[in-house]
Homo-oligomer: A and B are copies of this chain.
Amino acid sequence: MMKLFSAGVSLALLPAIVCADPLPSWEGESETQIIDFVQSVTDPKSEDYVIPSDRIAVFDNDGTLWGEQPVYFQLIYAVDQVAKMAESDPSILTSDALKAAAEGDYEALMATGKEGLIEVLKITHSGMTVESFQASVAEWLASATHPKTDLPYNKMTYQPMVELLRYLRDEGFKTYIVSGGGIHFMRVFTQEAYGIPTEQVIGTYTETEYHVTDGVPQIVKAPAIGFVDDKEGKPINIERIIGKRPIIAGGNSDGDFAMLEWSTAGEGPRLGILVHHTDAEREWAYDREGHVGVLNRGLDEAAERGWVLVDMANDWSRIFTGSK
């Protein structure tokens, strides 16, 4: 509709629209594979044509649309937040995990294991309304910067992926995030960073409660995890919320495998995309080992499944939106 309208008001611009490179920060085979696919499903004369309402594209967030090193950015928010909370009330530091977080000591925090991390997440992600949680995240995004790049975290989105999202929407796709990250956290920045509205952000969530106090209804974040949007949880959540099988799915780790597997197993043309972190200089190089973004099965099976394996070092001329 956007294109039709543009054409309606100014036909003179049409050749420019058609000829411009829709993915200026992409290079090589990955770019060609993606553009060929999109053209084949959007050309009404193509036998692979897909009607606009079925053009669903889903993308993981951490490591796919923005960085995820040295740890998930949402964890950095939580750790920073514990320090901030402890400033006004040191009595909250009732455990080794919380003390480590308050000191920004990630090594000591990791040493407390999964339970320690859950403690840090619970104290920073529950017991407040969704609005006040999101105000806190917005404040953090406006001031915090990444230890390696010195960029605000919401400028560490991948420029090539931002271009891909925009290109897909221009071609009639509905673009979704399907992430292990929290919905309330992500929704603070997804519209501005990616052009993705809150209702197209699927992710992990805490349980929430509906309270009416003095006639004012509020939705409050509770400590219990409601749904973990990772691995098999991704196709389950997509089916539950979108109710259609995507024709494009993109990720970067084995946590995205089931999402790509299910999406690309549907009938008709399908595109799977795996972002491979190969650029130690401009970003980070990692795959088979580590505590985030582990990619084994995807790396082993991408070729036989026909998935596009994006080599960040060679296929992207630019990495972060925040740095040229």
Contacts and interface: CB of A to CB of B under 8 A. Distances in A.
A241 B239 contact: no
Interface string A1-34: 1101100110000000000000000000000000
Contacts of A232: 209-210
A53 B197 CA distance: 8
10 contacts: A5-B5, A183-B243, A198-B243, A209-B236, A210-B232, A217-B235, A217-B261, A219-B235, A219-B239, A241-B241
Interface in A202-229: 205, 208-210, 212, 216-217, 219, 226
Contact of A8 (B8, B198, B208, B219): B8
Contact of A216 (B130, B240, B265): B265
A30 to B, nearest CB: 25
| 6 residue pairs, one from A and one from B, having the closest CB atoms | A198-B243, A8-B8, A210-B232, A199-B242, A217-B262, A219-B239
B210 A235 contact: yes
Interface residues of A, number: 38
Contacts of A208: 236, 239-240
A187 interface: yes
A201 interface: yes
Contacts of A258: 210, 217
Count the copies: 2
Contacts of A288: none
Contact of A2 (B1, B216, B242): B1
A235 B220 CA distance: 11
A244 interface: yes
A240 B242 CA distance: 13
A208 B241 CA distance: 12
B199 A244 contact: yes
A192 B236 CA distance: 25
Contacts of A183: 240, 243
A243 B210 contact: no
A201 B53 CA distance: 14
Contacts of A241: 199, 241
Contacts of A4: 5
A54 to B, nearest CB: 10
A187 B242 CA distance: 10
A128 to B, nearest CB: 14
Nearest to A215: B265
A187 B243 CA distance: 8
A43 to B, nearest CB: 21
A183 B238 CA distance: 13
A294 to B, nearest CB: 20
A8 to B, nearest CB: 4
